[in-house]
Structure 1
Amino acid sequence: MINVLIVEDDPMVAEFNKQYVALVEGFQVVAVARSGDEALALLKEHDIDLVLLDIFMPGKTGIELLTAIRLQGLPTDAIVVSAACDQKHILAATRLGAVDYLIKPFEFERLQESLNAYREWATAVTSQPTVRQSDVDQLRQRKEQSFPQQVPKGIDRKTLQTVWHRIKQSGGQSFSTEELANLVGLTRISMRKYLEFIKQLDLLEHEISYGSVGRPIYKYRCLNPNSPLITRYF
């Protein structure tokens, strides 16, 4: 069983994450910490394999906590779960050894995928004294293939390529479903399907705002315009 520590200052978010982890086979939440100092104390008190770590917290930030974990040589891995979506925090977390980075809000399936990949990796490297290169390569290949190879029903590959081309032209600026639909020549409902598919590949982030008449407005922003991941679907 993989022991998990959730480090999250928002009680509601912490509870959601705890329930999510409970749904994934092979994981159990040992404790929840509301601050970096509390997390460090719990890491020394319990046998923790994995930390689900927020970035913005009172006192120590998640990056400072991850730095302290590494400096103190604590034997635990970390998956960052945060609203911080800027390059600075993502690179810092990665360089400090975070095995994955999830940007809030996220779907349960994305966390499930991350935990499953971690479980496979942890099982492979702890089940035998030495690991072959072929074992490492196989695990990397499984992670890459965890994304669906077929586009969902209602998604046309050529249109998907056009949509992605327009998204790349946004230059990192946010755009609405309707704005992109007008550029490509699709209905707003059809465009939503394409954007949600691309979002599942972790290439878009989105937020919801409400206009004067109360209709939700979905705003998207491209996270990685140079990712080769989407090209396999063209």
Structure 2
Amino acid sequence: MTETIRVLIVEDEPLTAEAHAAYVARLEGFTVVGSAATGRAMLAAVQAEQPDLVLLDFTLPDAHGLQLVRALRTAGSAVDVIAVTAAHDARGVKNAIALGIVQYLVKPFSYRTFAERLTTYREFRRGFEDRRSLSQADIDQRLGSLRSSVPSELAKGIARETLEAVQAVLMASAAGVSATEVADATGTSRVTARRYLEHLITAGQADKDVRHSGPGRPEYEYRWLR
């Protein structure tokens, strides 16, 4: 029987933590066993819950993620860690790799990217089940399974800077915003704003509904999926 991977979410932004938990819940073979908003809470949760995988934000109120991974390794913990962070400086990424972090997700990202990274991780773990030893070919295959099969580049015509601006507008609005309002807030045209909003819907990060604001042609409003 295939094991269920127990996940600890470490994130100090409550809405982001909820979003990551919702993402995990949509994936087969994973279950969330806890969450932590500080480094101290994370270390305690790892000891108490014994998770298989930690989704770790590097920027926490009381510690940097790399410090926490070092503390885990010093304490003898072999728990797997996936970095889920906006930090992407070259030195930090190199240090993360040196500490054995198995995947690195740079915020913001789509549900598709999140799902792909966790799916490849799941297949990586399954490659060790019921095996006492591995051949060179087996080892090469296990390491290769961690590499993304989906290009990390954004879709054609989607610029990261503009995408991040549109995401920020959606995340800041609890009531939902129209394409016109997003265009005004980001300094883009309505057509461009709508294209980015539809891209976020396809990526599983937003949804839309009809806004009824009186007579005339109805308008769509877009909401961030929290």
Give the TM-score normalised by the residue count of structure 2: 0.67
Q: Matches of 1:80 and 1:140 in 2, distance apart? A: 18
Shift of 1:147: 2.4
Q: Secondary structure, in 3 states, of the residue corresponding to 1:30?
A: strand
More deviation, 204-213/80-89:
204-213
Residue 117 of structure 2 is aligned to residue 114 of structure 1: yes
CA contact (8 A) 1:6 1:53 kept: yes
Shift of 1:206: 5.5
Give the percent of matched residue pairs that are identical in Structure 1 and Structure 2. 36
Shift of 1:138: 2.8
Amino acid aligned to 2:69: L
Q: Matches of 2:128 and 2:84 in 1, distance apart? A: 24
Q: CA RMSD in A?
A: 2.9
Provide the residue aligned with 1:28 in structure 2.
31
Distance 1:145 1:37, change over 3 A: closer
Distance 1:207 1:145, change over 3 A: closer
CA contact (8 A) 1:48 1:76 kept: yes
Amino acid aligned to 1:207: E
- Which digits, 9 at most, give the CA deviation of each residue in 1:49-81, with x for residues without a partner? 100000111111111111101111112010000
Provide the residue aligned with 2:76 in structure 1.
73
Amino acid aligned to 1:19: A
Provide the residue aligned with 2:165 in structure 1.
208
Shift of 1:127: 2.3
| Correspondence list, 1:83-232, <5 A | 83-144=86-147, 146-147=149-150, 193-196=155-158, 207-208=164-165, 213-217=184-188
Gaps of 5+ in 2: 170-181, 193-226
Q: Matches of 2:96 and 2:62 in 1, distance apart? A: 17
Residue 65 of structure 2 is aligned to residue 62 of structure 1: yes
Give the TM-score normalised by the residue count of structure 1: 0.65
Q: Secondary structure, in 3 states, of the residue corresponding to 1:79?
A: strand
Q: Matches of 1:147 and 1:113 in 2, distance apart? A: 8
- Which digits, 9 at most, give the CA deviation of each residue in 1:8-50, with x for residues without a partner? 0111000000010111111111000011111111111112110
Distance 1:116 1:85, change over 3 A: same
Distance 1:144 1:3, change over 3 A: closer
- Which digits, 9 at most, give the CA deviation of each residue in 1:99-148, with x for residues without a partner? 11111110111111111111111111132111222223334445557227
Q: Secondary structure, in 3 states, of the residue corresponding to 1:101?
A: strand
Gaps of 5+ in 1: 149-163, 165-191, 219-234
Q: Matches of 1:66 and 1:119 in 2, distance apart? A: 20
Q: Matches of 1:207 and 1:146 in 2, distance apart? A: 24
Q: Matches of 2:13 and 2:103 in 1, distance apart? A: 21
Shift of 1:207: 2.5
